[in-house]
Amino acid sequence: MDTHKNHLSTRKRFWAGILLAQFLLFYLFSKVDFFINLFERFFEFQKVFHQKIVAGFPFSVGDICYVFLGIVLIYFFIKIVKKKSRNSFLLKLLMILNLLYFVYQIFWGMLYFQKPIIEKLPKGKISLQETKSLTLKYLDLCKQTRTLVKEDRNGVFKVDDLAKIETEVLKNQHHLPQFLNNKKAIEINSFKPSLFKGVMSYTGIFGYYNPFTAEAQYNAELPSTYLPFTLAHESSHQLGYAREQEANFMGYLIGRNSENLDLKYSTEYFVLKSLLRYLAEHDQEFVKTVLENYSEGMKRDRIAEKLFVKKHEGFLDVFFGFTNDLFLKSNQQEGSITYSYFIDLLIRYH
């Protein structure tokens, strides 16, 4: 009996040591350009096969895996609490954590340390006036495009055909500027409505990329103003852009000149809102004036968004906002509510 316990203790220490070694190893990898480039090339090599594996399933395979994993982890924790089975299940838990952490870093985690896109764009200080000028430009663009899209019976923008938008997003990946994008576009439709859409509405999360199944998940309950750009954003993750604001920027490039008016309007509207959020810290009167100059249709869309957010406010929204903020900052990104990097990319591109 003692021999068995000693054997389990030795194996636990071994797997705990392996996990710690992984933390240190991947941290060192993140500091060396050679290894970062290696992981970039590996992602480019494997992403076609990775997306093809589950793309044919009409439901989110990744979400089902997360549910199964959650059940397993709860079962393990219950067993660990019990003294009799503690050592055995703690060992199994350490082995699972090692596997998950390794797969996550190999397939996704190291991409957060790629060279920033901003290094490929013009340098120099961005003035407040430039930002305001671009805001007024996007106000006009939104007004024009808004007149061309469909509405529901309440006069709120409504997506006409989500499948067409998905096809358009994948097609437009091929037209990203070559001086900015070195990722290979692949027209594999792996967009999936999340099975957790009811919960996601209360978390403030519009969509997410699943690094284990390469699916682009989205919350199907979102207002139509959010949905098309969310697809463009998540497809940018599938291309290989891990940083959130860089995925926003690539999503913008995918949607800005789209022939699909729903995608075009959603993209322009996202840019306008981002600019206004940024300017709210510098000139609230200007922001107020822009909001007052929204078209009637845009005002209805804004009210619909505010009602959606108000309806789903609560503890989960605060909790996930906080945890997402910590996650972003731990991966060398700005916090979840900071748009300045996206604004920098946007204005330098223009």
Domain end, chosen from 88, 113, 138, is at 113
State residue 319's pLDDT score.
38
Alpha-carbon span 57 to 303, nearest angstrom = 36
Is 124 found in the same domain as 266? Answer: yes
Is 123 found in the same domain as 57? Answer: no
The amino acid occupying position 69 is: L
Alpha-carbon span 339 to 138, nearest angstrom = 16
How many whole angstroms from its chain centre is CA 145? 26
Is 134 found in the same domain as 276? Answer: yes
Instruction: Supply the angle between the helices 340-349 and 244-255 in degrees, to the nearest 10.
Output: 40
Q: Provide the residue-wise pLDDT of the chain in tens; the chain has 350 residues.
A: 566 667 778 888 999 999 999 999 999 999 999 999 999 999 999 999 999 999 999 999 999 999 999 999 999 888 888 777 778 888 899 999 999 999 999 999 999 999 999 999 988 888 899 999 999 999 999 999 999 999 999 999 999 899 999 999 999 999 999 999 999 998 899 999 999 988 888 888 899 999 999 999 999 999 999 999 999 999 999 999 999 999 999 999 999 999 999 999 999 999 999 999 999 989 999 999 999 999 999 999 999 999 998 887 764 444 334 444 444 444 444 544 445 899 999 999 98
Is 233 found in the same domain as 330? Answer: yes
Alpha-carbon span 313 to 321, nearest angstrom = 11
Is 54 found in the same domain as 19? Answer: yes
Give yes or no for a contact between 224 and 199, defined as CB atoms under 8 angstroms apart.
Answer: no
Is 170 found in the same domain as 55? Answer: no
Domain end, chosen from 113, 139, 166, is at 113
* CA Rg value for the chain: 22
State residue 3's pLDDT score.
67
Global pTM reads 0.89
Is 215 found in the same domain as 142? Answer: yes
Alpha-carbon span 76 to 94, nearest angstrom = 11
The encoded tokens of residue 189 equal: 């439709």
State residue 11's pLDDT score.
86
Alpha-carbon span 149 to 268, nearest angstrom = 13
DSSP result, 106-136? HHTGGGGGSPPGGGGS--SPPPHHHHHHHHH
Segments forming the whole domain that contains residue 89 = 2-113
Is 121 found in the same domain as 103? Answer: no
Is 330 found in the same domain as 196? Answer: yes
Give yes or no for a contact between 185 and 173, defined as CB atoms under 8 angstroms apart.
Answer: yes
How far from 214 is each of 42, 53, 60, 272, 310, CA to CA, in Å? 14, 9, 10, 30, 32
How many whole angstroms from its chain centre is CA 283? 29
Give yes or no for a contact between 292 and 143, defined as CB atoms under 8 angstroms apart.
Answer: no
How far from 7 is each of 11, 14, 70, 152, 168, CA to CA, in Å? 6, 11, 28, 66, 57
How many structural domains compose the chain? 2
| Residue reference for tokens 């997410």 | 208
State residue 89's pLDDT score.
86
CB atoms within 10 A of CB 66: 17
Alpha-carbon span 237 to 51, nearest angstrom = 12
Is 101 found in the same domain as 148? Answer: no
Q: Using CB atoms within 10 Å of the CB of residue 17, give its burial: 0 to 12 exposed, 13 to 18 middle, 19+ buried.
A: exposed
State residue 205's pLDDT score.
86
Is 190 found in the same domain as 246? Answer: yes
Domain end, chosen from 53, 79, 113, is at 113
Give yes or no for a contact between 132 and 68, defined as CB atoms under 8 angstroms apart.
Answer: no
State residue 244's pLDDT score.
94
Pairing, β 191-193 against β 207-210: unpaired
Is 109 found in the same domain as 121? Answer: no
3-class secondary-structure state, position 187:
coil
